[in-house]
Amino acid sequence: MSAFSHFSYFVTVFLMVAGLFIVIARGNLIKKLVGLGIFQTSVYLLYIVPGKLVGGTAPILDPAFTRYSNPLPHVLILTAIVVGVATLALGLALVVRIREAYGTIEEDEILAQDGETPNGDGPGA
C-alpha cells in the first residue's frame, strides 16, 4: 500500500510544516526558536527513517546479528543535533540582547519601535 509505505514521510512533513508555521506565524522570539527546533528535528526524522531496515538492528557490530540499519545518516544527524543546539544558544543570546535593547521580545513591538526612529538607530543604543 503506497500510503502506508510513505506514512513516515507524511509525519515528517507534518512536523516540518508545523515548525515552519510556528516560525512565521508567531511573534514571540523564544517561541520562534522553539519552532525552529521542531523544524530541525523533523529533518532528523527525514534522514533517519530511510535508513531503517525492518528486522535489522542498531549499527553496532556483533556476531549475533547480520542485518544492520544504515549507520551513515546517524553520523550526519549526530553532527546536525549538536550544531542545532549551538545555533539555539547563539539565537538565545541574541534574544537576551534584544530584550535588553528594546525591552520586549515580541516581533510586532520591536518593529514598531524600530519604525519610530527614522534614522534606524534603535532606542537608547
Partner 1 sequence: MKHDLVLRVIAKILIPFILLFAVYVQFHGDYGPGGGFQAGVIVAAGIIFYGIIFGLETTRKVMPSWLVESMLATGVLIYAGVGVAGILLGGNYLDYFVLAADPVAGQHRGIFWVEVGVAVTVAAVMLKIFYMFGGRGQDPE
Partner 2 sequence: MAAAVVALARSRNLFAVIVLGGIYSFLMATVLVALDAVDVAMTEASVGAGMSTVLLLAALYLCKGEEAKPVRKPWLSLAAATIVGGVLVYGTLGLPAFSDPGSPIHVHVAPRYLNDALRETGVPNVVTAVLASYRGYDTLGETTVVFTAGAGVIALLRRRRRQAREESAK
Binder of residue 35, out of partner 2, partner 1, none (CB less than 5 to 8 A by kind): partner 2
Cα(49)–Cα(52) distance, rounded to whole angstroms? 6
Residues of this chain, 58-77, that bind partner 1 according to CB under 8 A: 58, 60
Q: In degrees, to the nearest 5, what angle opens at C-alpha 120 toward C-alphas 119 and 124?
A: 100
77 part of the interface to partner 2, by CB under 8 A: yes
24 part of the interface to partner 2, by CB under 8 A: yes
Question: Closest CB to partner 1 among 72 and 92?
Answer: 92
Taking residue 125's Cβ as centre, other Cβ atoms within 10 Å add up to 7
Instruction: Answer yes or no: are the C-beta atoms of 88 and 109 closer than 8 Å.
Output: no
Q: In degrees, to the nearest 5, what angle opens at C-alpha 41 toward C-alphas 37 and 47?
A: 145
Residues of this chain, 29-68, that bind partner 2 according to CB under 8 A: 30-31, 33-35, 37-38, 41, 44-45, 48-54, 56-62, 68
Binder of residue 65, out of partner 2, partner 1, none (CB less than 5 to 8 A by kind): none
Cα(45)–Cα(99) distance, rounded to whole angstroms? 33
Question: Closest CB to partner 1 among 82 and 111?
Answer: 82
**Site residues for partner 1 per CB under 8 A:** 58, 60, 78, 81-82, 86, 89, 92-93, 96
